[in-house]
Amino acid sequence: MRILLLGSGGREHAFAWKISQSPLCKSLFIAPGNAGTKEFGQHFSFGVTDFEAIRACCIEHAIDMVVVGPEEPLVKGLVEYLRAEPLLKSLLIIGPGQQGAALEGSKAFAKAFMQRHGIPTASYREFTKENYQEGLAYLQAHPLPIVLKADGLAAGKGVLICNTHQEAILGFEEMIQSSKFGEAGKKVVVEEFLQGIEISVFALTDGTHYVLLPEAKDYKRIGEGDTGLNTGGMGAVSPVPFVDTILWEKIKTRVVEPTIMGLQKDGIPYCGFIFIGFMIVKGEPFVIEYNCRMGDPETEVVMPRLQSDLLKLLTAAANGELNNYTIKTDPRTACTVVAVSGGYPEDYKKGFPIQGLDQLSNAAMVFHMGTQQKGGQIITNGGRVFTVTAFGNSITEAAAAARTIQTAIQFEGKYYRRDIGFEFK
């Protein structure tokens, strides 16, 4: 098969690494990719929302399957755009259409979907300019803390957890009246705060059947001990020790199955990944969010643990044949530790040379996130720069192995959390 993979993060490096191991993979093309994905196939420089370039590339290079890494092109309608091209009738696409992607693209849509299909989630109300005054009164009477969510895609910054009513009202005002998050914030979801432990669960679905990939836990805060600002994710572990068969069964029957059934009932076709962010409250699963893609850095622990052929699985999904599949998983623990640029998630500099990458053994799982090849040198090109994944018989072992490899790779201003997996040690 000839595959076009879209994206440029650690998730896409892990996908490229895994897809290229499949005997079904004849040629892999990546756009725009990063310095780490270079070894797996030809690169194109067009961006993930350059629909015309993607369409032309699929035709010119006789692509059989497009794998869409990030959410933005899905939310903007890439699938519909490619489906409208008569020359691409047999193209397989991993990623949902616009309606399915709205599970991530609109918090209000996702909440209404969960309510309609009886999927456990925090109680909520939605507000716009039209019922702004009512919103203010609702906030005044709401118990603390209060969770505010800008409706649309806001690059992970659209959620405010407010510890005072004053803070909530200010945030609400900024979202609706001052358009702090642009169009995304003109509708606001106000939600009950759930106290618990977060985990990430990933389903691959063909719209009717599904397989579940190994679960993971990511570490979103910049500082050790889960302190400081939110980031895209500073590390992840899989499996998550407290996820036992009882909890897994609840996750499946109360959330995953009603989600797939709900898509069918609503007439929403869906082929691709559904990433469900859970808050586990006293052993009970509640959905915090849906994403229409895999997580980053969760993919960098999930793909190494997946022993099945990913390309076979994706092909089965695209052909509506996932009912014939069960997946095989490595029982060992995987831990990934992300290295970021100094200053991230606030302002940071790019362009620093990265040393030590070529001295690593082939077995080291280093996934590039924000890197770029410049001449003979790999340089930093983003906030999250690369992540190191290692296996162990426990989280302690896997995390220690990942940290050891981390110390061998350097760039100016590098920072990483030394405590990924800390609560399970």
Per DSSP (E only), the strands in 154-246 are: 159-162, 188-192, 197-205, 210-212, 217-218, 221-223, 227-230, 235-238
Most distant pair of Cα atoms in the chain: their distance? 61
Per DSSP (E only), the strands in 292-370 are: 333-340, 365-368
Q: How far is the CB of 267 from ligand AMP (least distance, A)?
A: 25
**In this chain, which of 50, 71, 191, 300 binds ligand AMP, going by CB under 6 A?**
191
Sites for ligand AMP among residues 50-109 (CB under 6 A): none
Count of all residues that appear for the chain in the document: 425
Of ligand GLY, ligand AMP, none, which one does residue 126 interact with (CB within 5 to 8 Å by kind)? none
Q: Which stretch binds ligand AMP (CB under 6 A): 168-176, 190-198, 203-211, 341-349?
A: 190-198
Task: Enumerate residues 6+ apart whose C-beta is below 8 A from 319.
Answer: 92, 206
Q: Which residue is nearest to ligand AMP (CB)?
A: 289
Q: How far apart are the C-alpha atoms of 59 and 66, rounded to whole Å? A: 12
Of ligand GLY, ligand AMP, none, which one does residue 214 interact with (CB within 5 to 8 Å by kind)? none
Q: Please report, for residues 6, 26, 228, the alpha-carbon distance to residue 345 in angstroms, rounded to integers and kept in the order given.
A: 24, 38, 10
Q: Which residue has the tokens 């009512």?
A: 134
Of ligand GLY, ligand AMP, none, which one does residue 122 interact with (CB within 5 to 8 Å by kind)? ligand AMP
Give yes or no for residue 159 binding ligand AMP (CB under 6 A): yes
**In this chain, which of 72, 126, 151, 289 binds ligand AMP, going by CB under 6 A?**
289
Say what angle helices 132-141 and 165-176 make with each other, to 10 degrees.
160
Q: Which stretch binds ligand AMP (CB under 6 A): 81-89, 133-141, 188-196, 365-373?
A: 188-196
At residue 371, what are phi and psi to the nearest 5 degrees? -135, 160
Q: How far apart are the C-alpha atoms of 307 and 330, rounded to whole Å? A: 6
Q: How far apart are the C-alpha atoms of 69 and 393, rounded to whole Å? A: 30
Of ligand AMP, ligand GLY, none, which one does residue 151 interact with (CB within 5 to 8 Å by kind)? none
Give yes or no for residue 158 binding ligand GLY (CB under 6 A): no
Q: How far apart are the C-alpha atoms of 308 and 68, rounded to whole Å? A: 20
ω before 353 within 30° of 0 (cis)? no
Nearer to ligand AMP, 10 or 295 (CB): 295
**In this chain, which of 206, 218, 300, 309 binds ligand GLY, going by CB under 6 A?**
218
Q: How far apart are the C-alpha atoms of 308 and 318, rounded to whole Å? A: 16
Give yes or no for residue 122 binding ligand AMP (CB under 6 A): yes
Task: Enumerate residues 6+ apart whose C-beta is below 8 A from 13.
Answer: 34, 36, 37, 300, 367, 368, 369
**In this chain, which of 7, 105, 233, 272 binds ligand GLY, going by CB under 6 A?**
233
Contact letters (x/-) for ligand AMP, 268-287, by CB under 6 A?
A: ---------x-x--------
Q: How far is the CB of 137 from ligand AMP (least distance, A)?
A: 21
Q: Which stretch binds ligand AMP (CB under 6 A): 46-54, 177-185, 187-195, 200-208?
A: 187-195
Give yes or no for residue 193 binding ligand AMP (CB under 6 A): yes
Of ligand GLY, ligand AMP, none, which one does residue 191 interact with (CB within 5 to 8 Å by kind)? ligand AMP
Of ligand GLY, ligand AMP, none, which one does residue 12 interact with (CB within 5 to 8 Å by kind)? none
Of ligand GLY, ligand AMP, none, which one does residue 193 interact with (CB within 5 to 8 Å by kind)? ligand AMP
Nearer to ligand AMP, 93 or 110 (CB): 110
Q: How far apart are the C-alpha atoms of 73 and 95, rounded to whole Å? A: 9
Q: How far apart are the C-alpha atoms of 77 and 295, rounded to whole Å? A: 20
Nearer to ligand AMP, 196 or 269 (CB): 196
Q: How far apart are the C-alpha atoms of 68 and 45, rounded to whole Å? A: 15
Q: How far apart are the C-alpha atoms of 270 and 98, rounded to whole Å? A: 10
Residue 158 near residue 149, CB atoms below 8 Å = yes
Nearer to ligand AMP, 33 or 100 (CB): 100
How big is the site for ligand GLY, counted in residues (CB under 6 A)? Answer: 7
Nearer to ligand GLY, 191 or 218 (CB): 218
Sites for ligand GLY among residues 279-338 (CB under 6 A): 291, 295-296, 298
Question: In angstroms, how far is CA 330 from the centroid of its own chain?
Answer: 21
Nearest residue to 297 (alpha-carbon basis) of 367, 364, 349:
367
Binding site for ligand AMP (CB under 6 A): 122, 147, 159, 161, 191, 193-194, 198, 220, 277, 279, 288-289
Binding site for ligand GLY (CB under 6 A): 218, 232-233, 291, 295-296, 298
